[in-house]
């Protein structure tokens, strides 16, 4: 009989600590190791829910070196969960290299449903169509940013942006897309959550 390896992708709250699911808490309590983007950030969640599971770091700077170790542990019967600092792993977070290798090694991946900034944000945005393009983090170079806005000028474009760059990005959107309506969201699920939809000029 083929041995079952247990690897879980576990979403964590994007802000409000109460948004974690019961299943996520159960999995995090019962795995042997939690691979974290930042162990200090994850520890805050674990402490809040009295979860004592061991944590290891797994982030974009060490993911290549950690893959073999994690796969060997899984093959030896260790149950492992992957979390990011907030939201659902693999959505603008580390994990792609690991997932690719898990599939190569025929290791089953169980993904839990849970918090993710994109659908949380979009559920508050009036749209004429369900179609949208998620571009991850907005490009830092003007040329790539202009290419992105031009290539998707006729569709809903969703991306992450730094508050420090927001005004410049809005000016670029106005240049490329004219009178487009824009929605900006910040501090989602937190005390000072704000989502505003208006013309790019007004924003």
pLDDT at 71: 94
Encode 56-104 in three state secondary structure: EECCCCCHHHHHHHHHHHHHCCCCEEEECCCECCCCCCCCHHHHHHHHH
pLDDT at 4: 62
Residue 2 has pLDDT above 50, yes or no: no
Is the pLDDT higher at 43 or at 2?
A: 43
The Cα diameter of the chain in Å comes to 64
How far is residue 44's CA from residue 50's CA, in Å, rounded to a whole number?
A: 10
Residue 1 has pLDDT above 50, yes or no: no
Instruction: For residues 19-25, give the mean pLDDT.
Output: 97
* 144-201 pLDDT per residue, tens: 999 999 999 888 999 999 999 999 999 999 999 988 899 999 999 999 999 999 999 9
How far is the CA of 191 from the CAs of 16, 60, 69, 88, 124, in angstroms? 8, 30, 40, 21, 16
pLDDT at 60: 85
Instruction: For residues 15-36, give the mean pLDDT.
Output: 97
* 6-16 pLDDT per residue, tens: 999 999 999 99
Question: With contact defined as beta carbons under 8 Å apart, do 9 and 88 qualify?
Answer: yes
pLDDT at 155: 86
Q: Across the strands, what pairs with 137?
A: 160
Strands 133-137 and 157-160: parallel
Share of the chain above pLDDT 70, in %: 98
* 87-145 pLDDT per residue, tens: 999 999 889 999 999 999 999 999 999 999 999 999 999 988 899 999 999 999 999 99
Q: Across the strands, what pairs with 196?
A: 184
Q: What is the H or E stretch that residue 184 is in?
A: strand 181-186
């Amino acid at each position: 009989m083929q041995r079952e390896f247990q690897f879980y992708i576990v979403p964590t709250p994007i802000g409000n600590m109460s948004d974690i699911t019961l299943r996520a808490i159960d999995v995090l309590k019962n795995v042997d190791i939690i691979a974290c983007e930042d162990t200090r950030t994850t520890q805050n969640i674990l402490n809040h829910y009295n979860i004592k599971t061991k944590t290891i770091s797994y982030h974009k700077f060490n993911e290549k070196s950690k893959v073999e170790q994690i796969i060997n542990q899984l093959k030896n019967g260790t149950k492992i969960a992957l979390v990011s600092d907030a939201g659902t792993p693999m959505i603008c977070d580390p994990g792609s290299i690991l997932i690719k290798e898990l599939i190569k090694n025929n290791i089953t991946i169980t993904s839990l449903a849970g918090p993710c900034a994109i659908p949380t944000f979009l559920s508050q945005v009036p749209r004429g169509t369900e179609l949208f393009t998620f571009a991850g983090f907005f490009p830092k170079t003007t040329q790539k940013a202009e290419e992105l806005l031009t290539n998707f000028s006729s569709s809903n474009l969703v991306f992450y942006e730094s508050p420090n760059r927001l005004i410049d990005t809005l000016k670029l959107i106005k240049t490329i897309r004219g009178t487009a309506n824009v929605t900006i969201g910040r501090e989602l699920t937190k005390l000072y959550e704000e989502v505003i939809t208006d013309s790019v000029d007004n924003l």
